[in-house]
Amino acid sequence: MASINDNYLKLKAGYLFPEIGRRVKQFTEANPSAKVIRMGIGDVTRPLTPTIIKAFHEGVEEMAHFSSFKGYGPEQGYDFLREAIAEYDYKARGANISADDIFISDGSKCDTGNIQEIFGSENIVALGDPVYPVYADTTVMSGKTGDSDETGYFEGIVYMPCTEENGFVPQLPKEKVDLIFLCFPNNPTGAVATASELKIWVDYALENKCIIFFDAAYQAFITDPAIPRTIYEIEGAEKCAIEFRSFSKTAGFTGTRCAFTVIPEGVMAFDKAGNPHKVKLLWNRRHTTKFNGVSYPVQKAAAAIYTPEGKKETDEVIAYYLENAQIMRDRLHEAGYVVFGGINAPYVWIKTKNDMKSWDFFDKLLHDANVVGTPGSGFGPSGEGYFRFSAFADRENVIEAMERIKNLK
């Protein structure tokens, strides 16, 4: 008899975005003439830039000829890409990361979920509330929790509230924890962490032999030079932090798929007898066993992001989205909302008026303004009463959506 991994039964039925999709579909079927503006899901809208596309095409062309054809590549990624990353994302910022610490993959969603399997089920996981839902769900799938209660909290996960009071940057947990997910710039709140805030976490992790999973998917949106773009700018992080990066939001690769995980030599986890093991070697074992590498043309395209023209073009796209965020911030503020995020981040996070529930605001916005956003409560119970707008939209649509929201009764 086939039995299932019953951790899956603990999961909540609906992932947030399918539920949004269901409600939007229902509305558009009933109102076929409504011009719905989608600012919900965090997906980019601008195409890949010319330099990236050129490299992508060249990579495809190489596959067409006997002399340049490529079969399986290294599972960890091609050296040309790993070296460009080490050089421009890390060494240039004073972070001592080598190409060998970098594992190219097809996405940070998979990496943040897959990393769970190399850590034992007795680990206590801490995560922000609200945050990217993948961390909690994959913690459950990997057997590190009990059941969830009626508010949606799982037994065994330490939730760290991210609220207006703490500026949406979580405080150290009172309980002892082992694995800590941090996401900055944050999805969904758009909050960023300063070097001194990150230093508190790194010191805590070193002292308690914890590992920080640092999701920096939105680092490209940081324009303030004082805000760290990688956790390895913080002293000691190379001994306790794993960093997840993705080209999805950085360069429009959500449909092209390329990301990477950084695990420096010094990051250790312990066996039952208390002996240290290099996490990098465990991840290398997993990655090379279960993954066969990202396609060559895609890695060629990703490497083009690091050329001077590629960098200039992607910076322009990021600037476009950030300008959207600024327009949204201004207009939502004028419309009487309390507004957070949207600076150094592509998400604008607002408080609903009169403590309206997140899903009620979602329905009102959809029905009365034909605008789709994301209910804050979908990212964790502390997101109740908040709402996320994504700046990954066309300028025209952003302006139109904000106008409609201003006129909401």
Ligand X SMILES: *Cc1c(COP(=O)(O)O)cnc(C)c1O
Residues interacting with ligand X, by CB under 6 A?
42, 107-109, 132, 183, 187, 215, 217, 246, 248-249, 254, 259
Least distance from ligand X to the Cβ atom of residue 183, Å: 5
Least distance from ligand X to the Cβ atom of residue 51, Å: 21
Least distance from ligand X to the Cβ atom of residue 216, Å: 9
Least distance from ligand X to the Cβ atom of residue 53, Å: 19
User: Closer CB to ligand X, residue 134 or residue 372?
Assistant: 134
Task: Note the Cα 230 to chain centre separation in Å.
Answer: 14
Give the orientation angle of helix 296-303 with respect to helix 50-62, to 10 degrees.
150
Least distance from ligand X to the Cβ atom of residue 193, Å: 14
User: Closer CB to ligand X, residue 215 or residue 313?
Assistant: 215
- Residue number of the CB closest to ligand X reads 107
Other CB atoms within a 10 A radius of the CB of residue 223 amount to 12
Least distance from ligand X to the Cβ atom of residue 291, Å: 14
Rg (CA), the chain: 21
Query: Which of 160, 156, 167 shows the shortest CA–CA distance to 182?
Result: 160
Least distance from ligand X to the Cβ atom of residue 219, Å: 11
User: Closer CB to ligand X, residue 107 or residue 293?
Assistant: 107
User: Closer CB to ligand X, residue 249 or residue 300?
Assistant: 249
User: Closer CB to ligand X, residue 78 or residue 379?
Assistant: 379
Tokens linked to 64: 């067409």
Query: Which of 226, 164, 231 shows the shortest CA–CA distance to 191?
Result: 164
User: Closer CB to ligand X, residue 125 or residue 369?
Assistant: 125
Residues 154 and 388: their CA atoms lie apart, in Å, by 23
Least distance from ligand X to the Cβ atom of residue 233, Å: 19
User: Closer CB to ligand X, residue 21 or residue 120?
Assistant: 21
Count of alpha carbons within 13 angstroms of residue 299, beta-carbon side? 25
User: Closer CB to ligand X, residue 38 or residue 109?
Assistant: 109
Question: What are residue 157's DSSP bridge partners?
Answer: 125
